[in-house]
A and B are shown apart, each in its own frame.
Chain A
């Protein structure tokens, strides 16, 4: 049958709609490539069988659709009416859904979407945040209509735009309409589509061509594929209208060979259209004739570049040439040619049908309409989305995309693939449109948006993209052929740890030269990922080059294992884990001590960044690294075996250390082993600093601390207690008496929150509160205690308050629970013990005559993104409420004071910390070093230890040594710690914990450590990725 007129289209539409009405339900099963790879075929068969079995086939029209977008939920099914989305289906779920939804008319909730943060079941697809925040024009039919049914396409006004154009519009009118719509090319460049058509219209020629560029090769992009799989007729209709507008009778779709399903469906759609007379001679009885040929690429990314694409169609090597001349003048076979991308053609019919004004009302001033993006990488909702131009990156990632999985932090979004650049947390408020992306050094590209979390190394990412373009360079021009190779070689050596000073400058110079001089778009943009990562992540390049350190734990040549790499002190984690597994616990302890003299303490209070990088987490749960460390330390320190007192030969030089906290002790420990005479001046009567007075005993018993400090000081450190620099001994005296000074005084003062009434009685700042408890001052706590803050001090304060007899303990935190910096386990323990957490609440005023009796609070909501990528909480107006309290403990932050030193002597930052060279820990004064919190602000124990160690190295170097620490004899590791083979899933083994009832009212240590067998079993869970 042929379609000859608009009436024929109408008739098909009516017919189709009438037939639809015969069914009570329609079931849309996503049959796009993504879901096909998740075995949606099997589900479909099961579903159809289930319907037959239940005798319900006549009630339900089953449609196989293109991509719904929610690819990470696939296979998916939508049942209408009701727009109910079922997801993550498998064949066994089919009969349940049929029985519930179709037979009983009830929603089968167990297969509905469940919001991952709230746990709420959201059956209606349009209420799911992922869909709710989208705006579909191009993808309107995708995932809705049967991809194989032209009738259904027509029933949704398909080919109506073509009919409108052929019956009532002149080519110039069509071009005018597209121009007025403001549609810009969706392939990446963003050239106004109407203008391109106009140029081609004006070029005189007997033959012109319309080419649809479906050579979607950008890594991370799959929009075109999905559109062709789901709604090919929309693209065909767009090409037809384009052909009519410019006067072309021939269209070509150039599509990648990597997309077999899209090729098949597109080819089928073209055949169908031809059979109906929608392609071919005299379409709809007009004098317009047009046909489309499909050309399949053969695996060359560069053929996405339009001049290369045309050469490829001509049967040649796909090598680009310089433009001008442009294809609109001199294109395929030398004839005027319009090349647009799939998505651009997808916009044409809607614009013609609904008018340019409607289209131009969507989006921003210079970027009209919507943009389809492919979300991939480290993002919860991976898949295909369409959003209005002008939404912010943050909205895409957090609202549509659902944020970053596994509690990791957002590091970078890569747009535009190998031609693009990166957008950082600082760009989350950036509007997504052509011009603002370019302004920020990225590009819109064709729509691939790859999210990456903190575990992504930016140098490695740059290397990846460079490898890609290098591989895909056509080889015609020198800048691209050789330049990208040289850039890749430099990047490779940096990631291998062989980078040299000046390499980054070479990359910049090469990158800029290639941008300036390559022949085509691919080459000119090839350096972008490198230049963009250098712009935003220069420090990562420097770390790789200078410190052979990859903070993301990706560049495996630079470290033993990701956990070791993540440890600021660089402890050989897989080494000691394998020793524990082999039963050599003392060796394990000694191995830890080589890099970190505080195994017992770090086993208890370390924030264990190592565990967040553990490869085992990809399988089940990370290894309990800190717990195993504690096990090893407890085993040795409690064994009663005395330490062999080693006497290190003195080298005649002396170092003074101020502060016997973790940083000072570490520095002293290593220096003493090196032969230095070390005097540590400690203001208080105990050593340990914050460990001694800032951490409650239920987390860190005094006894454990004492044993560990003893083991350190026996290396030959002299601690001078109760000695305050500035009053007991002048700082200048230290300088003259010692060859070098290391200042590690930490932070001692609680930062005020700065609200009304903070000076009142009953406001007890967190650090003071904890110190007083630890120093056994008589601290009385009763009634309602409210802690303000979300860090570990806040949690410590809250749990301590509870133990001291508080009736009720609240924690007010202005952000969400997920954003609390305190250790997750501590938070859970606190909640379990009865602490009440108020998320998104901030105090505005302490109320009370004399003593505090209440706090006035406001509720907050997440606002714009801050520079760190976190949303800055904003006050919800008129949300004020009052909590009656007896004691308020603000615990927001701490700072240092330096009574013994002035800014004139040593450089100090605006935040009140020492200015130190991060490589050497040296302050602006030669010979004076500083580290730990006093140099970096409030931070964690392990970084203080790392600083102390680093300072010991540079002090040694400064005093003429080699800077190589005496860490002791090498310890031989078990030759083969684990059996080769497949790891079997097993959750982590747990330490013993003090029962809730037994711990609530006292300061007994809560975690009780491992049983030996459990420790060995846990150690054996280690994948030993260092050896693989």
Chain B
């Protein structure tokens, strides 16, 4: 421990603590901008400068380690004067059209403006950049608003390992993005939206789909169906100022009804369906690998629910594509079923159906544009809106969300089990799959009694577990004594690590769950801001609470899913399943 004096008071902090952290630990808040706890500390914006006695210049508190005996002033005249000038400079290269900016009142620059009052803009001059790239179906980049904090650079490189967002050129000409002539829509961008999530201003945003949804809602000839992903209900509340981790499933369903959606379905239904398909696929593959000499299947099998991750793999690990489960992601399955099973059942012309997915994800906006996601010229899903966009629509419609009565999902695609809920968090798909697979194989519930596989929960980058199969049912005797090894990762850096193992032939796993965003869908690129590890944990807990509160917690026990198989699909991996619920992948590698 060392002693540091901040604004006249002596504090003890751990060695290695930055001045910023030391102050924060002691309830002294230093205005800051580019800083992101534990993720991004490069001291580039200089808003957090403080005066360190004896120092020649002010120091950026976020990157300056506290040292023994250091005397710091966070609010002296010198500091405040300089901070103000820096803020003025920031604004001098920023279009001040707040009212037409989607981040209005939700902008960190505005927040700063609330702290640092300016009376006039004295340093107006040339603006450094003005490129708007809307080529991507998921993300729009408006460089004129970029203030070069480089948070997106850090997440895209360090966290996601995609390496698309980078600083280019230098000095006043510096810009952040893909290289000069490269468009997001034609790049290796995975559409994960993590950059959008951390962008403090309006420089990176999701491609807006609310207009299309409003239009559909107003179109009397359309039957508009909406489905919501498991992670949405754990975060939507934050838009309405609920504590992070508050579940708002019922209010959300009610709000969707009020918005005018004809049917409100739950993507979770399809999550259960996914488990059926994917679990079966896994068992088939294992069987093939273990018993068939001319085996065609490869292991490990990797989950395929996360479209950002899929695109990443198509770019970087095209050679490993056969490892991907052929299952579509749950919302695509539900979309496909809506336009087939549901349409048939309700006797609605599928062309008059408009399917909207509310997703925590920006990559889903891209996913629905994939040619494999169309059938007979009709898109499985017509529009994806993010949790944030839904929040905006609810507000826009004048719905008093907090005072809504609890609503419910509609049948027949609304019922789901706890296993589907946990799809929203890292480790959840694997756990849900194993709940079903283990039981299918052994006829017994997962051991432990909680149905949880503890090592697969949490925010660690790579999590692994192994389950020894003993005493299986006769048809699975080939699995007797086999220890099934599984791995789970979220965030594409971890994915790359696991894929490198596969590439090198050193992967010990049979089954891998990969979610593109760190923490899984709960902190997807479409979720409300801010997102940090504390908030991730809260949302994750909410997801598990939802699971634990459900009477049915195993996918194969979802009665509506069973009904679907009986009435429509036949059996998992059957002909219809293949037609509607499975897909193919395309190499995007330039090799």
Contact = CB atoms under 8 A, between A and B. Distances in A.
A509 B85 contact: yes
Contacts of B173: 475
Tell me the dominant secondary structure on chain B's binding face. loop
A475 B171 contact: yes
Contacts of A324: 64-65
B63 A322 contact: yes
Contacts of B128: 482, 485
A519 B44 contact: yes
A478 interface: yes
Contact of B60 (A322, A472, A485, A510): A322
Interface centre among B42, B86, B93, B171 (most CB of A within 10 A): B171
Contacts of A485: 93, 125-126, 128, 171-172
B174 to A, nearest CB: 3
A317 B49 CA distance: 24
Interface in A318-353: 319, 321-322, 324-325
B82 interface: yes
Interface string B78-106: 10011001100110110000000000000
B122 interface: yes
B46 A470 contact: no
B170 interface: yes
Contacts of A506: 122-123
B85 A476 contact: no
Interface in A447-481: 470-479, 481
A663 interface: no
B375 interface: no
Nearest to B171: A473
A34 interface: no
Interface residues of B, number: 37
A474 to B, nearest CB: 5
Interface residues of A, number: 36
B155 interface: no
A557 interface: no
Nearest to B168: A317
B548 to A, nearest CB: 45
Contacts of B86: 478-479, 483, 513, 517
B148 A510 contact: no
B172 A475 contact: yes
B171 A477 contact: no
A759 interface: no
Interface string A479-498: 10111111001000000000
Interface in B47-67: 49, 56-60, 63-65
B163 interface: no
A484 B125 CA distance: 11
Contacts of A474: 170-171, 174
B329 to A, nearest CB: 37
Contacts of A479: 46, 85-86, 89
B45 interface: yes
A300 interface: yes
B123 A486 contact: yes
Nearest to A476: B44
Nearest to B78: A516
Contacts of A478: 44-46, 86, 89-90, 147-148
Nearest to A473: B171
A594 interface: no
B170 A300 contact: yes
B148 A516 contact: no
A433 B171 CA distance: 32
A473 B59 contact: no
B167 interface: yes
Interface in B524-582: none
A519 B46 contact: yes
Interface in B162-206: 167, 169-174
Interface string A509-532: 110110111110000100000000
Interface in B16-68: 42-46, 49, 56-60, 63-65
B174 A475 contact: yes
Interface string A562-580: 0000000000000000000
Interface in B193-222: none
A545 to B, nearest CB: 16
Interface centre among B56, B58, B81, B123 (most CB of A within 10 A): B123
A517 B172 contact: no
Nearest to A318: B170
Contacts of A509: 85
A517 B43 contact: no
A171 B134 CA distance: 61
Interface in A91-121: none
Contact of B171 (A470, A512, A513, A517): A470
A516 B58 CA distance: 5
B32 to A, nearest CB: 13
Interface centre among A474, A475, A477, A524 (most CB of B within 10 A): A475
A471 B172 CA distance: 8
Given A489-B126, A519-B60, 12 more contacts: A319-B167, A472-B171, A475-B148, A476-B174, A478-B89, A481-B172, A482-B128, A485-B172, A486-B92, A486-B123, A513-B81, A524-B57
Lowest 5 CB-CB distances: which A-B pairs, in order?
A: A475-B174, A513-B85, A473-B171, A482-B89, A489-B125
Interface of B: 42-46, 49, 56-60, 63-65, 78, 81-82, 85-86, 89-90, 92-93, 122-123, 125-126, 128, 147-148, 167, 169-174
Interface of A: 300, 302, 317, 319, 321-322, 324-325, 470-479, 481-486, 489, 506, 509-510, 512-513, 515-519, 524
17 contacts: A302-B170, A322-B60, A470-B171, A472-B171, A477-B43, A477-B45, A478-B44, A478-B45, A478-B89, A478-B148, A482-B172, A483-B85, A485-B128, A512-B82, A513-B81, A516-B78, A519-B44
